[in-house]
Structure 1
Amino acid sequence: MDVAAIDRFEASRDRLASLAYRLLGSAADAEDAVQDTFVRWQAADRGYVAAPEAWLTKVVTNLCLDRLRSAQARHERASGVWLPEPLLQGDLMLGPADTFEQRESVSLAVLTLMERLSPNERAAYVLREAFSYSHAEIAGILDITESASQQHVHRARRRVAAERRRGGEADPATARRVVEEFLAAATSGRTERLVALLTDDATAVSDGAGLARRLLRYKTRERIASFVRAGFKPTPAKRRLAGGSPALHIALVNGSPAVIAVVDDQVVGTVAFEVRDGKVASLQGIAATDRLTRLNQAWRQHEPGAPAINAW
């Protein structure tokens, strides 16, 4: 392959990875899809590719759709233990974040909700909301009609909106303050304060430190507060599982504030928060090692501030 063709692909790599991540919810799977796209770009008769950007977008999108439709992916995602892979703020795979729609489309909450969409609905929604493709362009990428593209986007928006009660987008300073208060209440045992910091329709989900056979889900403020209090209560068994006494940092993950537990510069778990109207609307606890690989890589290159709690 000539240098110009490689450069052309590399110029698109980050955008393709961001698209693939939104479609798959997994950085590792997104990287595989981008690499497979490169292999196809190598083998293509590029003299007949009039619009390389469009060609690459179509290939990576359809590779992701093949993955979403595969028996293995359906089993993994239907088994009840799947959560999206968290990414540290600044990761290029998070992609465009200029508009509210772009930021929301990569939030852990929306990535989880998109699991309920059909593959075509998910692709049309991501291409439209996060990358501002026209319905004509989406139709060309997915080999459907413009009318079908409009229907897919409409259904996807309706299904996502049905699961989300939007308030005003929290500014970073306010969101961090709420999470700091929440963490202080969780580690001090002030369950009543935890309840007060949760929205009436708050939800929580956890992979049970990566050990649960199914995701743990909680829907009432009282149950969430009890779950959080138990989860943040240190015990010798938890410290053995973590490999030591973690420092608890607050950082941005997928655009939202998160508590990141770190032992000897190794991330052992994260709890991501969605803040709405000055309260916590949802929490996602992720500690499965295979879901923290890229976050760990980024953390080791990151210069974190002082931890919120030095040793949990």
Structure 2
Amino acid sequence: MSDELAAEFAEHRAVLVGAAYRVVGSVADAEDVVQETWLRWSSADRSDVRDVRAYLIRITTRLALNRLRQQKSRREQYVGPWLPEPIAATPGEQDPAAVAEVADSVSMAMLVVLETLSPLERAAFVLREVFDLPFSEIADTLGRSEAAVRQLAHRAREHVHARQPRHRVDKARHLELTNRFMAASASGDYQQVVAMLAPDVELVSDGGGKRRAALRPMYGADKVARWLIAVITSEETARMEFSTTELNGEIAYIAYDGDEVDTAGFLAVGDDGLISHLYVVRNPDKLTGVPRRNQLC
């Protein structure tokens, strides 16, 4: 019986990691949450469970909410801006078609927007928009009335949609834009860099106090261009090599210091085709899920 139970849980494990990751923004925390879900599942009365996947997602989300609340003091003491942890694969989905379908929900831009929601709004959004659970089940998960959950989900959806581009840039275009932008930055071509940035572009860099990064978000094409060129052409960065790969279901650039990952960066493109946001992750604790140079195919 225990082997059957473990096999049944393993069938849904990737989906559960994906659900937890969308709530907490950290693979390590998501893995801990799913381990706790397993402990709950292995000792639960399963006689009334009709939909194992939905049941496990609800448990996982509830535990992820608790973990998110526990993170509050850690976030408050964090040095500089906090960005979610990049991942090399879309958690929770293995089929290529499914990966494409849910990529938006784990993109860096989406995770950053989810960070601005309240914990309950974030959970309601994930359960409804990503996993399509009925409002009655979400209400049971969050311990709120169905009417309250509908309001939470509505506010979260409106908030997210207001901050997301209406049109997603295809990967070929995103790759071309990323390569061109990094080449212009590395060459110090200020005019070309500025021409690719939206006038109100935002740059957020996360060094966690362990690597050099801007301690506050930076705004405006001129300021962002000058900062990027100064960093990329600095003596520290000159020895690094840049490459592109897919992280969080989207194109990202990686700076390698030898075989080690130094930086992972994401460009969000607005409806006008200009770069609207840049997210730069340098905290080494958050780069463990990014392939080292010798691991790339």
Same fold flag (TM > 0.5): yes
How many residue pairs were aligned?
290
Superposed CA deviations along residues 115-150 of structure 1, whole A, max 9, x for unmatched, are 221111000011112112222232232232221111
1:106-185 aligned at under 5 Å gives the runs 106-162=106-162, 164=163, 166-185=165-184
Q: State the identity %.
A: 36
1:208-227 aligned at under 5 Å gives the runs 208=207, 210-211=210-211, 215-227=215-227
Superposed CA deviations along residues 61-83 of structure 1, whole A, max 9, x for unmatched, are 1111111122xx11222344421
Larger mean Cα displacement after TM superposition, 46-55 or 259-268: 46-55
Answer yes or no: is 1:6 the counterpart of 2:6: yes
User: Is the 8 Å Cα contact of residues 199 and 279 (structure 1) preserved in structure 2?
Assistant: yes
SS in 1 for 2:290: helix
Answer yes or no: is 1:273 the counterpart of 2:267: yes
Counterpart CA distance in 1 for 2:206 and 2:284 is: 11
Q: 1:264 maps to what in 2?
A: 258
User: Is the 8 Å Cα contact of residues 21 and 93 (structure 1) preserved in structure 2?
Assistant: no
User: Is the 8 Å Cα contact of residues 255 and 261 (structure 2) preserved in structure 1?
Assistant: yes
User: Is the 8 Å Cα contact of residues 250 and 257 (structure 1) preserved in structure 2?
Assistant: yes
Counterpart CA distance in 1 for 2:214 and 2:146 is: 39
User: Is the 8 Å Cα contact of residues 257 and 274 (structure 1) preserved in structure 2?
Assistant: no
User: Is the 8 Å Cα contact of residues 203 and 277 (structure 2) preserved in structure 1?
Assistant: yes
**Superposed displacement of residue 208, structure 1:** 4.2
CA distance 1:275–1:214, shift in 2 (3 Å): closer
Superposed CA deviations along residues 84-124 of structure 1, whole A, max 9, x for unmatched, are 00112x3445775444xx33221112211212211110000
Counterpart CA distance in 2 for 1:267 and 1:211 is: 12
Larger mean Cα displacement after TM superposition, 109-118 or 223-232: 109-118
User: RMSD in angstroms over aligned alpha carbons?
Assistant: 2.3
Q: Counterpart amino acid of 1:170?
A: V
1:1-312 aligned at under 5 Å gives the runs 2-70=2-70, 73-79=71-77, 80-88=80-88, 90-93=89-92, 96-99=98-101, 102-162=102-162, 164=163, 166-208=165-207, 210-211=210-211, 215-235=215-235, 237-238=236-237, 245-276=239-270, 277-296=272-291, 301-303=295-297
Q: Counterpart amino acid of 2:167?
A: G
SS in 2 for 1:249: strand
**Superposed displacement of residue 260, structure 1:** 0.4
Counterpart CA distance in 1 for 2:137 and 2:47 is: 21
Counterpart CA distance in 2 for 1:258 and 1:140 is: 38
Please, which runs of 5 or more residues in structure 2 have no aligned partner? Answer: none
Please, which runs of 5 or more residues in structure 1 have no aligned partner? Answer: 240-244, 304-312
Larger mean Cα displacement after TM superposition, 194-203 or 43-52: 43-52
